[in-house]
Structure 1
Amino acid sequence: MKKVFQIYKDDWKRIFSVPTGILLTIAIMFLPSVYAWVNIKAMWDPYQDTSGLKIAVTNLDKGGEVRGKQLNVGKEVEENLKKNKKLGWTFVSQEEAERGVKHGDYYASLLIPEDFSSKMASVLSKNPERAEIVYTVNEKLNAVAPKITGKGAASIVEEVSENFTKEVDQAVLTEFNKAGIELERELPTIRHIESKVFALEKQLPQLKAMGNKIIALDEKMPELKEKSQKIVELEKELPKINEVGNSVLKVEENLPKLREVGNEILVIQKKLPAIERAADKVVEIDKNFYRIEQAVDKGIEDAQKANKIVAAAQQELPKVAKIAEGGSAFANELNDFLEKNDGAFETVAPVIKQNLTLMQQIADSAVQLTEAIQAEDFDPQKAVSSAEFTKERLQTGVAIIDRTVSLLTKLNEYAEGSPLTGTIERLNNVKQNFQQQIEVLNKIENAIKNGEQPAKELVDQLNQLATSASGTLGDILAIYDTDIVPRVNQALSKLKTAAKTSSQALQTAKEKLPDIQQVLKEAQSSVQFGLEELQKIKKRLPGIQKEIHEAATAISGKMDDFTTSVNEAAVFVKNDLPSVEKKVHKAADFVRNDLPAAEKEVRKVSRLVQTKLPEMQKSVHQAAELIRTDLPEMESSIKDAADKIRKFEGERNLGDIIELLKNDVKRESDFLSKPIKLKEEKLFPVPNYGSAMSPFYTTLSLWVGAMLLISLFRTDVVDPENQYTVYHVYFGRLLTFLTIGVFQGLIVSLGDVFLLHAYIVEKFWFVVFAVITSIIFVTITYTLVSVFGNIGKGLAIIFLVLQFSSSGGTFPVSLTPEFFQKINPFVPFTYAVSLLREAVGGMLPEVIRKDLLALLFFFILTILFALALKKPLSGITKKLAENAEKTNILS
């Protein structure tokens, strides 16, 4: 990459070192823009002013007559054309028109013949003739002009046809209107006669349908009688229905209890993660219980050693007291005692730490107890046993705290500034915390013994107290070695130093002997107490381990089933229980509100069936016999009368004809002359032709700019030292070409926006797409010349010709020959023009994505093409260039 950028850097140094090079580079940057701007401006709105297109008009029409009314359509056409400024209408004689069109003075001519109006007037005759306007055009003068003039001539024919149709329709419809008024005067008499007959005829289907229903009812009476007996039977079953209703009401009464149980299940589901975590902790404790045993054994061993050391020191202390009475001998003996029993003082700090650790374990055991109580499958008996054990441990902890506080208080008197005061206060707070835990445990234990679930507030309070105590002891232990131990050792050191001073110090030592004795006594008491507690714990460890293992085994085997059952029950409570409740309430409401009324109706219908049904059956049978015998004859007579009336009217609806004839003449005429209105909706409107053509001419100019680059700039690099490979040359010089190409894209697109003020919806993206297009085109043309030499220039021109016709930039590609339609998807012009059109008219993300991916494909394909063929063809390209130079014509 370093050599590639070196070539790029050297190129621009050479360009800026020569003024001509700078001017030429700037010119190449601007030349494609000029090409695009000139073409876009020229095509801006080619149909804006067509009045310069002269069309000769000759009117020979002599007029005509329609129902006594004179008309001259040719004159009307002539007057309308004089007002029309869209084309250059010129009114001349027939001879001048023929001569002018032939010699190119006029692009076309319109001839209105003598019989134009008379033929149009024949529309109301038995043999109508179609009128003609003779349109003559000279197509060799221009390719576009015939299209414009032809459109103008067609619009005139359309306008004349529309106006004439409107006039004729209006005349005919006026006559129809008069006939409608006459018929309307006699309409009441006609309607009065026919209405009576038709009204009776209209009732015939209803009478017949009613008769059929009576006959059908007569036939179904046996079946109806049989089914009605079921109502009587239903009346007998009413007591059983009442019993079912009472059962529904009882179910409704118990719904609150069912909902309460459901809520408890949902609470249990919410606590499942906590229950699972507690279960995991129990399993983890079971797996790691051996570590607890090891820690207890180690604590017992350390306590025994400390106890021996402190006991030995105490045994020596009476001797020291006797010697102290002997004056100087006392000092010597005291120093000898301190030196021999220095280890006893060194055990004080570890013993205190051991006691603190033991107290923290006591606090943690209370936390574990709360988790066991909160578990849904806890054993009350085991919980009571664990509570008793925890209380004993808390009482032991209170005693340990008393001894530890007493020891630290003595030492604090000898330490400078009383540095252990804060620790002593925190231990006293822990002592109060332990005492509060004992009180809470008593309440919990009483509740369990009474067969009750411990109140959640008590369990949470115990958990909070135990967690707080464990945290406080943990904070003390965290700073014990770094903060408290130095202060304890400092106090002990001062105590020993005081004993080793001069005679005055000796007296002080004698006075302090009781304190030393008290310190050792407290230390021995703490060690002994801790030892006893550890031994008690060791004795209970097998039982505790057994209980924990049983709990872990039970949890491992049943936890998954328990979780699944709770989740399934919770799903029912959330999803199904509300609908069940609604259905039960709905059924209960029916039982309370609707069932008594329904019961009453059933009894009423049952009585009707038993008393009135025989009478109704008899009446229906009589009516059915009447319909079977007399109705057909009456129906035939009425239909015969109605048919005669219809024959008299000619089987037409006279009222509808009158209404049709009396319609608004002007509105009907306007509608018949132009029954269809074209409603135009522009999806992506572009206001002028130049803006619509800007994507194509911008794309074309960028390819032209790329061709100018390969024509004026060399693709090879002068390398006398042979320090660059062919790939260094390719990529290094490509960067130079791309830099100029980027400026070409910027200049042409910014000029379209700010100089021509082309209509572009997305101006920013138009500029970006133009730059991307320029980069792709420069890469393609540069690669062609870099790989093939001068042959590549010819290929670039061929590609331009092929893309010009196949890209659909001017005419739709579907109107081009089949060859160009087939290569359309395979040329970069297609996607570049489409990309710029999106920015001009309005962007669709899927089209943008497709075009960008296609252009990126051409870019990558071009680079791979160069990497594959640049080196293999470099020798051939060089020879072709040398042979071309020998001609003294080709370069």
Structure 2
Amino acid sequence: MKKIFSIYRTDLINLWRVPTGLFLMIALAILPSVYAWINLEAMWDPYANTSGIKIAVTSNDQGAKIEDKTINIGNEVVDNLKENHTLGWTFVDEETALNGVERGDYYASLIIPEDFSRKITSIVDGTMEKPEIIYTVNEKINAVAPKITSKGASNVTQQISENFIKTVSSSILTRMKEIGIDIEKELPTIRNMESKILELENRLPEIATMGEKAIELEQKLPELKEKGQKIVQLEEKIPEINQAADTVLKIEERWPQIQAVAQEVLLIQQKLPEIQKAASRVAELDQNFGKVEEVLNTAIDKSRNADEIVSAALNTLPKIDAIATQGAAFADALTSFLQKNEAAFQTVIPVVKQNLTLLQQTADAATQLTGVLQDVNLDPQKALAAIALLSERVTSGAAVLDNTIDVFTRLNTNVPNSPFTDTISKLTGLQTNMANQIQALNKLQSAIGRGEKPAKDIVNNLNTLSKEASAALGSILARYDSEIVPNMTKALAQTQSIAQNAGGALQTLKTQLPNIKAILTDAQDGIHYAQTQLDTLQKELPDIRAKVHEASSTLQSKLDAFTSGINEAAPFIRNDLPRVEQKLHTAADFIRNDLPAAEEEIRKVADLYQTKLPEVEDAVHLAANLVRSDLPAFEEAVHKAADQIRKVQGSGSVEEVLRLLQNDIQKQSDFLSNPVLIKEDKRFPIPNYGSAMSPFYTTLSLWVGAMLLVSLMRVDVDNLDGIYKTHHIYFGRMMIFLTVGLFQALIVTIGDIFILGTYVVDKIWFVIFALLISIVFITITYTLVSVFGNIGKGIAIIFLVLQFSSSGGTFPVSTASTFFQKVNPFVPFTYAVGVLREAVGGMLFWVVLEDVIFLLMFIVVCYLVALALKKPLSGYTKRVAEKAKQTKLIS
């Protein structure tokens, strides 16, 4: 604190030593007051001098006659305005008035047309034309003057209206008084009417009930009309209905065929997994077809090698047979033969597996053929070619199957526990299966050759047989390597072992020669079959590959849509089709039994609607309009009349009515012309416009004073020795600013009160609040410049501009745009003007407390900004200032 006060004391000493600086400080303290006083004096009471606002007045009114009495309201208006000095009424002709408004000689003009009196009195003859006064205003001369002249024109029209009401009501009341005299003469008739009106009032509920029914009927007319129109439209569509009915009957007749097709869809849905599996296998085959070619070529090479090996073994076997008769030499020769031809025996194992694989492919080909035969767009020629090829393959496969069974049977005798018994059983069953396939293929070939569609049961039977064969062969191949191959190896080894042990069992070996020859012969037959099949397959491979790719592409593109369609159709067939059938039979029964009579009724109703409804509709509208338009007024009039009659009857006479008609006409006329008086109750009254505006201009002058201080005085301190820190400089230099600012607040507020004579209820608080506002404004502007340098001055100016429109100092903030309404709570002017207004008009504690708290919050925010940013930004601010000085324009 000592360093802060040291800076302040130094500033005061420096000002005292330099008279010019002291004089400048005094000028800075007085200048904001001059700004406020001049503006307040200029607009002290602007509405007291409106007589200088010239308005041209012209009356062209020709007057009018009412009951032999001539009146001219235009002249009466002119005479009244000549006695009115609130505005500068100037009476000229029409041309001078209009030219004067255009040139700016007059702010506005009032022209009363020729027919003004005639129109204003038109109520007497019942035409009731509203008169016009032509009001012309030049809005470019001044922004406020048009509002004042508009008010003057409104006062003129109001005065005319009051005079008019007074005159007309006087005439009407005079006439009513004359009527009262006539009423006395007609009392007997009136009494008779009284009883009739009371009786009519008693009947009003019945009339109202009938009226409500008429309105209800009218409300339902659109609904009736709409339904009637639908009946007419329905009559026009009877031919279409009959056509649709014929269609329903035809559908019922063909329902058995529809059900048959639906059952086919359900069957296809059950087969979808198999179809999808087949499609996947086709796609897999298409993707790996290159491997098939490689395997096929390898198989062909191995088949040829195996054939050569087995042929060589068979050619050698007669020699072994001759040797067998030679005793021990036979055993040696046989042992040598078996050792040399061991490879020939080993070829049996892959050849058997290869043959089983080819047989499974044949079975799968049969399954695929059944899918082709079920196609509705079957090509007979292609189908016959495919059946012939498959029949040939199945026939060849049956022969190979016989040899394979023979091989397993012979090997089964050389191995303990007969491990091939189950395999032989399954292969034997396949013989019957393949025979049945050949039979089915022959039937299909014959049927297609005759031009007939393949029988469904035969195709299904072939499909079942081929799938069973493929499954059986797949089961054998699945355990071929793991179970069959080891047992075959053991059987072949056992056969060789028996032959090699010929020293002690030569005769046994000799008996095995037929078995050996048979095994080799069967192996050779299997090799020949495999060679034939593999050669055929190699020739057909390019065509097969193209067909496989085409089938794969077709299946992949259409299978999803086909599956989705089947799955969507199946639930409908299972769940909804029976109900559809029931509804179809019901509809067909209705068409056969009831439709003709219904059509006849429709024609009758449509004719009745077209011929009679317009007349009914007109009558209902007429009755409803009468109820809506006239009945309420009629009821109200009846009730009012009855009430008045009862009041009169209660008093026993109509003297009360006659007394009302014979009241003082002048007093009643005055009451009608001006029935309501405004009693004004001013809260917190302020006698003149200048006093009301003093809070805003005092606040504005204090901000201007703060701007002058930060523009002319330095916010930094010479700190050559570095003894002062940034917060010392900030608070120390601020004190001299606050001192001048407090003098500014004292001068402007005391001058407002004692020099201008501003009306202030709480004068001391007015001064205290101004001191607080000055501290807030000095703190804000000083902080902006101290922290941000010259940029802060610009921010302070922007802040001033924003506060002009957002503080509500002149016009209510609710009349400003949405942006300024949102800014209003965040600017100090809002609370500064508000707290000064409280002092001027009369203080409310909670309003003052709220404004003071918000003003103090601005001080706290400024201190926090200064302490947080002054030191970090000091270097940047200094560099900006030095660069500004280099321009030699900015200090």
User: TM-score if structure 1 supplies the norm length?
Assistant: 0.48
